[in-house]
Amino acid sequence: MFPTPHTPALEFKGNLLTLMILHLLDSDQERIAQELAEKVSKAPGFFQQAPVIIDLHAVQDENNDDENNEINLPELVKLLRTHGLIPVAVRGGSPEQNEIVLSLNLGLLADTKLLRPRRFLEPEPVAVPVPSISKVVTQPIRSGQQVVALQGDLVVLSAVSHGAEILAHGHIHVYGALRGRALAGVNGDCEARIFCRHFNAELVSVAGRYLVNEDLPESFQGKRAQVYLEDDSLKIEAF
């Protein structure tokens, strides 16, 4: 049976998705390839099939000073795909770079550089405050499962197993053992924190900055700990 003329076959809706942003700080292709390989090797599962946005703001001034040092976008896209990442869009490029982006069948995002005079902006006051909404999970989160709290905090009353992933707009609280991956402030909230009673995570991240298990201090393994951002670096301390 065919749908009636009044029944739509599709619709577009806005949504809130978690995307990684690759901020290019240097246009040296060899350095980019080397550092990317190092980062992916530390957490291959975290990067595999992950959509990524390429941000070119930081290399624009450099490129203006040396036209021969401009980033090679086709090679960069190829490199990211080689490591399992999926480039989806670019922002902050020049008009010439944007033409290359379109030829690569990637999206163009609006240039928000003028809207971000500082790296992290303090939130502007609003007339009506938005309450923090917490998502509470009472069951264990098992390997292969992903739980996301797109608004407010995520509270897990049980354990997070190896291979599981939890993400939250705000803070993350884990009252059982944290053995999987925990990503707080996924929409850029630098004030977000991760709290847990039994710390043994595979990966922790706040506002895009992350540490993998090999980088985590052994002194906190199995203990109460909190993870937060300070001076643009992740800090871990007991609580």
Q: How far is CA 224 from CA 43, 196, 231, in A?
A: 23, 6, 23
Give all domains of the chain, ordered by start, each with its CATH number.
20-115 (3.30.70.260), 135-237 (2.160.20.70)
Higher pLDDT, 107 or 239: 107
What percentage of the chain has pLDDT greater than the value 90?
35
User: What is the SS3 string spanning the chain?
Assistant: CCCCCCCCCCCCCCCCCCCEEEECCCCCHHHHHHHHHHHHHHCHHHHCCCEEEEECHHHHHHHHHCHHHCCCHHHHHHHHHHCCCEEEEEECCCHHHHHHHHHCCCEECCCCHHHCCCCCCCCCCCCCCCCCCCEEECCCECCCCEEEECCCCEEECCCECCCCEEEECCCEEEEEEECCEEEECCCCCCCCCEEEEEECCCEEEECCEEEEHHHCCHHHCCCCEEEEEECCEEEEECC
> Mean pLDDT throughout 22-38?
90
Closest CA to 165 of 186, 144, 150: 144
pLDDT tens digits, 121-168: 344 444 434 445 689 999 999 988 889 888 889 999 999 999 899 999
Does residue 227 contact residue 194 with C-beta atoms inside 8 Å?
yes
**Which residues are bridge partners to 239 per DSSP?**
none
pTM value is 0.57
Answer whether residue 213 shows pLDDT above 90.
Answer: no
Choice among 2-11, 103-112, 137-146 with the minimum mean pLDDT: 2-11
Q: How confident is the model at residue 14 (pLDDT cuts 50, 70, 90)?
A: low
Closest CA to 20 of 79, 88, 77: 88
Give the number of other CB atoms < 10 A from CB of residue 210.
Answer: 20
Average pLDDT, the chain: 81
The most confident of 101-110, 127-136, 190-199, by mean pLDDT:
190-199
The pLDDT value recorded for residue 18 is 63
Q: How confident is the model at residue 119 (pLDDT cuts 50, 70, 90)?
A: very low
pLDDT tens digits, 46-101: 777 888 889 998 887 555 555 556 889 999 999 999 998 899 999 988 889 989 99
Q: What is the C-alpha to C-alpha distance for residues 50 and 84, in angstroms, rounded to an integer?
A: 7
The pLDDT value recorded for residue 120 is 38
Q: How confident is the model at residue 212 (pLDDT cuts 50, 70, 90)?
A: confident
